[in-house]
Amino acid sequence: MRELTDGSTAIVRGAVDAGCDFFAGYPITPASQILTAMSREMPRVGGVAIQGEDEISSIGMCIGATMAGARAMTATSGPGISLYSENIGMAIIGEVPLVIIDVQRLGPSTGGATTAAQGDVQFVRWGTGGGYPIIALAPSSVPECYTLTMKAFDLAERFRCPVFVLTDKELNLTATTVDINAYERIPVRPRARIAPGESAGTPYAYHPPDAVGPIATYGDEAPVRFTGSTHDERAFITKDPQTVGALNEHLVAKIENHQDEIDMVVADIDPGASTALLSYGITAGSMREAVRIARAGGRPVSALTIQSLWPVPERAILALLQNHGRVVVGELNHGQYRREVERLAAKGTEVVGVHRNDGTLITPQDFLEVLS
């Protein structure tokens, strides 16, 4: 059985099936459809959906709702992510499990509100103070919008951190036919919470550095402390170098020491190929079609679809680089992720970019021209 649907609908379904019970957002093309759908769906599952007065208040409400026990999501686009920036930093240091949908559009500034792009790739990683790691997933099809949204909720609970889902205007707003059996349901773990009545004296346990402790929830019997400043394990503000160093090491280690739990790629390797294509998001669809055409014409080529953009899945990319003399990276920007591939490439391996930043999609032919 097949249905006509789009990425926004799949994201909303994934959120509901993941147990999301709070949503706050502000209208912005091309993410407004998610706000509208969540406003309809949340009351049906006993949840709450709020249209905030702006982006800053929307993510702030999600942080507060999460710390009060909700499973929260927000959705915006590039201009909204810029306004989210300070609160993203608060979610990182406060270790708040939160899912942020970024439906990318052409920038800079307000850019092209109805124009496809993939320009927020580096922005979500480095757009807040400190440069601490985040997790970002990138679906490349409507079924993946559903599956990776559920995965984002699970990773947010596992690592107590904000998790981004980077989509784009074309994937979210373009209707396509989908086999309903293609939707893969991902189990989402329950939140690890300090039980009511138990001591909430150390809501931020970071010994050992990669430990992820249970959450103390507002409204329970024990008092709960929360701060966006550097703090000790009890959430008391401190400038003690040893304590501050331990906190900041923890924010890095809890993600980077467990990258094997986060990395998600789809590798389609031809042992006889000397050239490999690499892409993510909407552009990966064109890449896969280019691979099909090339192979049908007798030309061997490999492909790697990146589903977890951050942390960079270095092991998979290194394997691709080591086994191919030439890697072609396709993306709708000026080469933001290509830089990560170039950083890993050894001398003698050629890394080539296929880029568009004019509001139109990269086509299979664009990839084939580089192959030829």
283 close to 117: Cβ distance less than 8 angstroms: no
The pLDDT of residue 197:
61
Token pair in block for residue 180: 């309903």
Q: Is 271 exposed, middle or buried (0-12, 13-18, 19+ CB in 10 A)?
A: exposed
- Band of residue 40 on the pLDDT scale cut at 50, 70, 90: very high
The pLDDT of residue 194:
81
Distance CA 18, CA 189 (A): 9
Q: In the chain, which ranges are continuous DSSP H helix?
A: 7-17, 32-41, 55-67, 78-93, 121-126, 142-159, 169-173, 241-256, 281-296, 314-323, 338-344, 364-371
Q: In 18-141, which ranges are continuous DSSP H helix?
A: 32-41, 55-67, 78-93, 121-126
Q: Which CATH architecture has domain 2-182?
A: 3-Layer(aba) Sandwich (3.40)
Across the range 75-98, mean pLDDT stands at 97
Across the range 341-347, mean pLDDT stands at 93
The pLDDT of residue 195:
74
The pLDDT of residue 206:
85
Which of 12, 21, 139, 3 has the alpha carbon at shortest distance from 71? 21
The pLDDT of residue 103:
98
- How open is the CA angle 343-333-292, to the nearest 5 degrees? 85
| CATH number for the segment(s) 264-371 | 3.40.50.920
- Band of residue 221 on the pLDDT scale cut at 50, 70, 90: low
Distance CA 339, CA 324 (A): 18
Q: What is the DSSP string of 178-226?
A: EEGGG-PPPP-PPP-BPPTTS--S-SS--SSTT--PPBPPTTSSS----
- Band of residue 201 on the pLDDT scale cut at 50, 70, 90: low
Residue 222 has pLDDT above 80, yes or no: no
Element of type H or E holding 136: strand 135-137
Q: Phi first, then psi: what are they for 178, rounded to 5°?
A: -135, 135
Are 2-182 and 264-371 in the same CATH fold?
yes
* Domain coordinates in residue numbering, the chain: 2-182, 264-371
**For the whole model, what pTM was predicted?**
0.96
Token pair in block for residue 265: 């790629």
Across the range 298-319, mean pLDDT stands at 98
The pLDDT of residue 346:
86
119 close to 106: Cβ distance less than 8 angstroms: yes
Torsion angle (degrees, nearest 10) of CA 86, 88, 89, 91: 130
In this structure, are strands 176-179 and 2-5 parallel, antiparallel, or unpaired? antiparallel
Token pair in block for residue 323: 């086994």
